[in-house]
Chains A and B, each alone.
Chain A
Amino acid sequence: MISSLRRHHRQAFLVLAVVLPLIFAAGLLVRRSAPVAEAPPVKLPTASDRSGLVAWDEAGLRLGSGADYLDVVPTGAAGFPDILLYWSPGSPEADTPGSQAILLGPIDGVRAQRFPLPDFAREFDGYLIAWSLAHRRAVAVRAWPKGGLR
């Protein structure tokens, strides 16, 4: 290569040698320990022990929450096979997820599931919405006070 290209090449790699290890290390350090949606429902309350859960009967579901997670337990056979669970900031003025809604994950309706919550859910009032993609309508909507369900 000509000398100017060799110089640019060296400069580029000096920058990468600093930046990339930082990105890599930062990415590993910020990993969350909370379970993800696909994790097995370890220690989740079962359908026979729902005393600590809040009913969300419109969707045939009961809800419980911690600091950064939401437990969803089906109470019976789900009427919809394709429910997507969203959290959205603001008040539930319309029965749609809205442009700021954050998808928490799909509800399979046959087992207890735990969903990680976005940071916003601890800081802002909002609402949960169970949305049927195929029917294009809300199955259930529930207000979400800042900090989680009580």
Chain B
Amino acid sequence: MSLTYGAIGWNRQKKIYDLVLACGIVLYLSLFIGLGAWLNPGATVETLLIRGFGTCALLLLHIVLIIGPLCRIDARFLPLLYNRRHLGVTTFIMGLAHAGLAIFQFHALGDLNPFVSLLVSNTRFFSLPDFPFQQLGFGALVILFLMASTSHDFWLANLSAPVWKRLHMSVYAAYALLIAHVTLGVLQAETNPLLAAALGAGLASVISLHLVSGSREVRADSHSSLSSFDGAGEFVDVCSVDEIAEKRARIVTLAGERVAVFKYDGKISVLSNVCQHQNGPLGEGRIVDGCVTCPWHGFQYLPDSGASPPPFIERVPTFRVKVDGGRVLVNPRPLPPGTRVEPARIDANASG
């Protein structure tokens, strides 16, 4: 959480994250090139580097894609999510190194512009085994470039989180292009079954984890979707006070969107469940130092107003709430972001 834009808002967690990432990449490339040279003495350094960078990028992209659903399934994976954008940018850099070396090796020494050669040297689009797989990889790299270049919070704040999220969901198109790039490219010539098995396992992991977490979300939404109003028709009975842990929230769905009902210090406050930063799930966070704290990147909001404490300027919608007979009643109409709402007192209303 920061007030101004810097290149990178370094903190201890990000430094550890990036150090582990850098060490992992150096170790992977060293092992790949060392083992590759040992097992294939005839392989050139250029070929080993091209394949090393390519497989590294593909491996990183798989990790990037499974972090999200893993966090939905088990909150212990949340530390991986914290700096996922650096993982994504690193994926692009590895892919760029792979593509740069490949274009130089296969297209730069002819009499055509290398990029023109890349796009026109193979046009057999109707033959699957001869398909121009390099164009597929180039398309994926363009998407990863767009994502890497807009990954900074500057773009997130100016595009708004929903637009930014939509833009960055194009990573799935890039992933599809890369699966086709590898399947119709290197796997056509390299028939070692281990290579196909590794790619198949990665593909199965990504798809199955997303389907499992997605189905859980659908079930959770259907169970928490509420529409029973009180007698006056203004408030919806969302849960019992006792169902909410202290300094935690219960997430319910009102009018199609999720809201987080927080209990703290004998009070109840209700906020939108959607963090303004990256639309993280505020209701899965907890109250730290008197502030609702997003579990994704630590953005904080005052529970009664939905506004970040000064000097920060993030704000989320709030909801009117009351407690009656030990039940929490919420008005489903969201108030403008940052609107202060008097918290409902639990003690005064518990006997109802």
Residues of A participating in the B interface, judged by any CB pair closer than 8 Å:
1-6, 8-10, 12-14, 16-17, 19-21, 23-24, 26-28, 30-32, 36, 38, 118-119, 133, 136
Main secondary structure of the interface of A (DSSP, over half): helix
Docked complex Cα distance between A28 and B258 (Å): 43
Residues of chain B within 8 A (CB-CB) of A10 are: 214, 217-218
A8 vs B184: C-alpha distance when bound (angstroms): 28
B162-A2 in contact (CB<8A): yes
Q: Which residues in A have their C-beta under 8 angstroms from that of B165?
A: 1, 5
Answer whether A3 and B129 are a contact pair too, CB < 8 Å, given A13-B210, A13-B211, A21-B203.
no
Contact of B257 among A2, A17, A133 (CB under 8 A): A2
Provided the pairs A1-B165, A8-B169, A13-B172 are in contact, do residues A119 and B127 lie with their beta carbons within 8 angstroms? yes
Q: Is B176 an interface residue (CB 8 A)?
A: yes
Residue from A4, A16, A19, A24 within 8 A of B183 (CB atoms): A24
The one of A2, A12, A14, A31 that contacts B191, using a Cβ cutoff of 8 Å: A31
Q: Does B156 contact A (CB under 8 A)?
A: no
B203, B207, B218: which contacts A13 (Cβ < 8 A)? B207
Q: Is the CB of A28 within 8 A of B183?
A: yes
Report which residue of A13, A21, A38, A133 has the largest number of chain B beta carbons within 10 angstroms of its beta carbon.
A13
Chain B residues whose C-beta falls within 8 Å of the C-beta of A133 in the assembled complex: 110
Assuming the A-B contacts A1-B279, A2-B257, A13-B207, are A32 and B169 also in contact, with contact meaning beta carbons closer than 8 angstroms in the complex?
Answer: no
Could you name 11 residue pairs across A and B whose Cβ atoms are closer than 8 Å? A3-B257, A5-B166, A8-B169, A10-B217, A16-B172, A23-B183, A24-B199, A24-B203, A27-B187, A28-B196, A31-B191
Is A30 a contact partner of B129 (Cβ separation < 8 A)?
A: yes
Query: Any chain A CB within 8 A of the CB of B335?
Result: no
Tell me the B176-199 residues at the A interface (CB within 8 Å).
Answer: 176, 179-180, 183-184, 187-189, 191, 196, 199
Asked if B169 and A12 sit within 8 Å, CB to CB, the answer is yes
Measured between alpha carbons, how far is A23 from B199 in the docked complex, in Å? Answer: 12
Distance (whole angstroms) from the CB of A114 to the closest CB of chain B: 14
Q: Is the CB of A31 within 8 A of B257?
A: no
Chain A residue with minimal CB distance to B207? A17
Q: Which residues of B lie under 8 Å from residue A26 when comparing CB positions?
A: 128
